[in-house]
Structure formats: structure tokens, C-alpha cells
Amino acid sequence: MSKIKTALISVSDKSGLVELGAALNSFGIKILSTGGSAKTLKEADIDVIEVSDHTGFPEMLDGRVKTLNPIIHGGILAKRDSDDHMRTLKDHNIETIDLVIINLYPFVKTIENPNSTYEDAIENIDIGGPAMIRSSAKNHKDVTIVTSPDDYQSLIDELNKNNGEVSFDLKKEFALKAFEHTSNYDQAIFQYLQNDNNVCDKFPQNISIHLEKSMDMRYGENPHQQAAFYKHKTNYAGALSNFNQIQGKELSFNNLNDAENAWECVKNMSASSCVIVKHANPCGVAMADKPKEAYLRAFMTDPTSAFGGIIAFNSNVDGETAEEINKQFAEIIIAPSFSEDALNIFDSKKNLRVLEISNKAGSDDFDFKKIGGGFLIQTPDQIDFDINACEVVSELKPNQDQLNDMSFAWHVAQYVKSNAIIFCKDNMTLGVGAGQMSRVDSTRIAAIKAENANLDLTNSVVASDAFFPFRDGIDVLAKFGAKCVIQPGGSVRDDEVIEAANELGLVMLFTKVRHFKH
């Protein structure tokens, strides 16, 4: 180790800058600085030398060029144990720089401002900063690089501990953070330009995923698996990743996996709605005038499966709703807000996880599915749906109540694993058949679920996420009392399926849209 003699400071975020400058001055460290940083230090009566005075070159091109100078980068990059490097510095009258404090132009903050322009974004792409960070991090054996105000105190503590010196281990740790910092910065720029439709196709040749660790999970899908949750750097409105955990024990991998489906299903429903999810499938969904009624109707669909489920609402959860929920065992409650009474009631169950999420509209740009050695990437399964634009292919025509129920059923079908069959009536699920290899088996399972819950399927509607390949599924659902079917259509046997609907006195609608979910 060797004592730090000269530091260079150039920061956009000036948090803690004055305190840091004072500490460096106390160790007798000479401070070089640029524009705004130098001004802040001078106003605090901290000794500082402007970089332009140090290099003999003024800042130019509206500040675009100020540290891109061999006197700066030579002082940073020179290897102190190289006689040739040190001789070169002496020949050109270049001083070594031992400590670099840098954080970059606020590019991300700029583009998050809805009023920012393309020109604003471009001007906030830092050039000199990343160059100095990379120079310092490359030469971390001799140079300490700090890129976050969060690390200022660690630096000061280290200088106090080692009489003005920094250990190699801490230099290496700071260097790792520095390369992470520039990587994240470049990724944000890449992502911004990639999303400009005038620059890239929808699926560009290269896609980079920019994630940061949010938390460790209790475990993965099984207790012997480890897991962590990483958030996308882009803050998508209404996304599950924006949750605020109000109470409860640590979340597991399965908790968030199930919570994602519950939240996506419920957040954009129109009336007060409740979704109960178990093992990534909705087992009960309902709309009502009040959240309590919506919950009770959703629970009624399949009380057995609802045990230990994820319960999501699209409206405020009040005290009377919380009292009903507390009669059962639930893993997670999700809602955009909770009344004080509700939170007091939930507090009696310390392990119950309560998550608050804004239900503003929004979605990710892409949907990723991991396969061995790569990813399958697609756009989200989102499409504007108008029940009145569907094709009525049966002889019987639907009334308005049937149309409303089919619209509700079709929405639920989007969030049930294929093959998906959903019986509904009066904006409530009656039976859900999910994840079967045969669509007719899903139909039978949905009917069995309704029977087990003592729910009458007479005059119900059925939604199928994909077409019926044969008439057998139609025969089964009609046998249990359904009177309407909404499905994509598109089978080579559509005529046979339509004929079955007419024979059995069913209304049938074709959406011409499929909602497979694997």
C-alpha cells in the first residue's frame, strides 16, 4: 500500500461531497475537480484545483471535453512499479492520480422524466466519466476508484484505519463496483436507443437484460434449491416487482411465481375483483360490487384448492374483507391498498405476507422463457378484446348477460395453464380445468370441480383458451348444463364443432385469438 497524495473528483450526484472533500483535505490529499464539483467544494472552503488549471486546457464544447486528456489518463493509468511508465510521466510532467471519485451524468433519471426529449437523453450520455472510471478500475492495483456516495464512508474509514492508505482488497472491491456501474450505464443507453423504433426492429439482433438483485428468496421451487429475486432496471408501471411488503415472513420463489399470475389476472379487471391462485393457476375468480363479496364468490369456486393460495384484489381491501380472509389459511394477500382496519386484522397472522402494489397499467416489453442454453422471447400476451367483435357462429344468438359472462370467462382463460377450460356465470368462476394434455379432460375436470363445490352449471358459459379439435368437449360441457361457449375457432373440424353446438342448443362465439399459457 502507498499513501494517497492526489484525488480527482467529478460527480453529478453531489450527496456527501462536502464531507468527503473535508476528510480528504484532513489527510493532506490534493484535490483536482471539474466544474460543478469544484464549485461545491470551493463554496465549502475546501482546497481544490480545477482540472483545467491542472491540465492547462480549458473545458470545451459545452463541457463535452474536460477530462479527456493524457495528463489525466496518464496520471491514472501509469503502473507505479514500472520504471518505464514512471519515466514517461516525469518526461511529460504528469503527476500520478491515486484516488478517483466519479459518478456519471444522470442518464436514467433524465429518460424517466416524461418531458425529456431525445436531445436531452443524448446530452446526458457521459463520455469522460466512464473513461476515467474504466482507467481507474483497470489500474486498481495503484488507483482507488469510488463511484457511489454510499461508499464514501467506507473510504474515509479505510483512510483513518490505514493512515491515508487503501488496501488492495478494498481497491479491488471498488473496481468491481466501478465496472458494474459503467456496465449498467451503457446498458441503460443501449436499451433506450434500442426502444427507439426508428433505430431497431422489434426483435433486435442482440438483447441485453439489465437486472439488479432485489432480495434473496427463502428457497427455490423446492427447499433444496436456492433462489433470489432480480428486478428489471426499468420501472414498469403496475408490475409485480414494484410491490411493497407490509408484513409477513420472507417470500419464496413459488410465492412470487404464483403472485405474478394472480396480480396480472386481477389488476386490469373493471369492477371490484378477486383472484385466488394456487400452483400458478387461478382456482377462483369473481367480480362484485365490494371486495368482500368478490372474495367470497372467488373462494366458493374451489375452497379446497384455495387453502394456502395467493389472493389478489384490484381495489382497496377493507376490514370486513380482511376478517373473511383471516378465517382461511392464505400465503399472500395482494392489493393496491389496505385500510388501517384490514392491516390490524392481518397483523394477527404474523406470517401472512401482505403486498401493496399500484395497479397502474403497464407491461414488460418482452416475455422471456428459459430453455437450455438460451431464452425464448416473445411480446406479452396482450390484445385489445371486444366481445361484440367476436363472430357468432351458432344458430342461437347470445343475450347481453351471456355476452358479459363470456367476456369475463375469456379474460380468466388467459391466465389458466393450457389446456384451459373455465365454466362461469354471473361474473364468477364455477369450475376451472387446467394444464391437461386433453381438452376434453380439462372440461371434465372443470365440471368435477364445480360438482365438488356444490355449484350448479346450468345455464353457465364456458371459455376455452384454444379451439376444440373434436366435438367431444362440446358434448361434455353441454351435458353439465352450459349454454354458451367462447373459443378461438380455427380447427379443421370447426364445422363439426359448430354443428354439435347447434344440435345441443348452445350459443358459440369465435374470438379468432388464442391464449395458450405454458
Helix-then-strand count for the chain, H and E: 19, 21
Select which of 14, 39, 231, 279 is catalytic.
279
* Cα–Cα distance, 399 to 214 (Å, whole number): 49
Identify the DSSP state of 151: G
Paired sense of beta strands 367-371 and 374-378, if any: antiparallel
User: Catalytic residue at 138?
Assistant: yes
What is each CA distance from 331 to 276, 444, 454, 469, in whole angstroms?
Answer: 11, 29, 25, 38
Helix, strand, coil content of the chain in percent (nearest 5): 40, 20, 40
**Of residues 5, 138, 210, 290, which has the active-site annotation?**
138
248/255 Cα distance (integer angstroms): 12
For residue 419, cis peptide bond before it (omega within 30 degrees of 0)? yes
- Of the candidates 434, 473, 460, which has an alpha carbon nearest to the alpha carbon of residue 265? 434
Going by C-beta distance under 8 Å and a sequence separation of 6 or more, which residues neighbour residue 488? 464, 465, 466, 467, 510, 511, 512, 513, 514, 515
**Does the annotation mark 181 as catalytic?**
no
Q: Are the C-beta atoms of residues 263 and 334 closer than 8 Å to each other? A: yes
Catalytic residues: 138, 279
